[in-house]
Amino acid sequence: MSNRDIPIGIFDSGIGGLTVLKEIARELPSESTIYLGDTARVPYGIRSPETVSRYSFENTRFLYSRGIKLLVVACNTVSSISLDAIRETVSIPVVGVIEPGAKAAVAATRNKKVGVIGTAATIRSSSYTKAIQAMDATVEVFGLACPLFVPLVEEGWTEGMVVELTAERYLKELKQKGIDTLVLGCTHYPLLKEVLARVMGGGVRLIDSAIETAREIRAILEAGSLARQKKDPLTREFYVTDSPDKFLEVGERFLGSRMEFIRKIELESEV
């Protein structure tokens, strides 16, 4: 099989990266994919940079060894902490989710006040602030960690009173800053988009890094003559590190399609 016809590899700490997979499937409908959700160790966002890096190397090694033409780090926490280090370990393009989201935020803001919500690790790293201000130093960036959103999404609670109240409580602070753009800086948050849009109100544009990342992947595949040529049906493989039950239930509902191929695997540790 030529390099063009092998799959795109995608990993996340859990189910949230499916938001990126869904956009890749929409933007690049003939590409095969292999998705790894490290469900046994989610959440990453509360862990130390050393631990997040170790997990992300193990995930990378698993996907790379299966033969992929491009790696998508569909996790804001990992993209914030170890993207450059991952790039050094493989000889294929590696795409993170921070740069594409930052680029879209800079293009969207009119009043130059941008909010970023993410995990504690992502916000602590200031990755979005650095990326946004490298593109436009006049943009003010307000970061806010919203750690309770991840367990809500993993549980499949993407609407209803608990989510509404949690969002109102978290976002109150950002609303007071007068932002006109809000980056959903965590792969799980696009699943809460409707609630977040309602709570922020019509004047605030939400930036979904997943959509921007899918566009960037298309550009890289086209520029590198890496787009799939084969006409036979594509494949979608899913791997998880814990029991697939919850992942299947929430994932199929979110993707709107069956996950025909899903396996539980053990990741090899470095030592």
Residues found near ligand DGL in the complex (CB under 6 A): 12-14, 16, 42-45, 75-77, 118-119, 122, 150, 186-188
Residue facing ligand DGL at closest CB distance: 45
Question: Are the beta carbons of 38 and 11 closer than 8 angstroms?
Answer: yes
Token pair 């490298």 in the structure block, residue:
134
What is the nearest approach in angstroms of ligand DGL to the Cβ of residue 27? 19
Nearest one of 211, 142, 137, 132 to 182, comparing CA atoms: 142
Comparing CB distances to ligand DGL, the nearer of 7 and 118 is 118
Smallest separation (angstroms) from ligand DGL to the CB of 96: 10
DSSP 152-198: HHHTT--SSHHHHHHHHHHHHHHHHTT-SEEEEESTTGGGGHHHHHH
Shortest gap between Cβ of 98 and ligand DGL (angstroms)? Answer: 10
Closest distance of CB 17 from ligand DGL, Å = 6
Q: Catalytic residue positions? A: 75, 186
- When the beta carbons of 37 and 226 are compared against ligand DGL, the nearer one is 37
As a whole number of angstroms, the longest Cα–Cα distance in the chain is 55
Report the C-alpha gap between 27 and 72 in whole angstroms: 14
Distance CA 214, CA 221 (A): 11
